[in-house]
Amino acid sequence: MKKVLVMCTGNSCRSIIGEALINKYINGVKACSAGVKPSGKVNPNAKKVLEENGCWDGSYHSKHLDEVLDMDFDLVVTVCDHAKESCPMFPKPVKKIHVGFEDPDGKEYEEFVKTFDEIRVKLLPKISEALK
């Protein structure tokens, strides 16, 4: 089982959605997510879009990068520019890729649906390719 870490700043929207989509759609891969400045909560609209698409798992929660530093990952994925800038601080040698997405936080629910679809279409194939 390969392990992927999805990082962003707040770990409340994009990285949680990415984690959920990877876990649902990429066989043989276990994802988790973290933020460099976590909000401490999953955005309700992010949770809603995941629930409506059968991707929600009650274990998903907003957490700081420090909480996953002891884990070994095959790939670290950043989904926002701030996390990309912070990613070199990740203390272990691991392959890294960046695929940026606009933050839907504070916007209407439709923006979360759009972000969900973009992450599914753009990020999942890049992760599959990077793990080959």
Q: Known catalytic residues?
A: 8, 80, 87
Closest CA to 54 of 12, 25, 13: 25
Instruction: Assess contact for 31 and 60: CB atoms under 8 A.
Output: no
How far, in Å, CA of 108 to CA of 30, rounded? 30
- Secondary structure tally for the chain: helices H, strands E: 5, 4
Element (H, E) at 75: strand 75-78
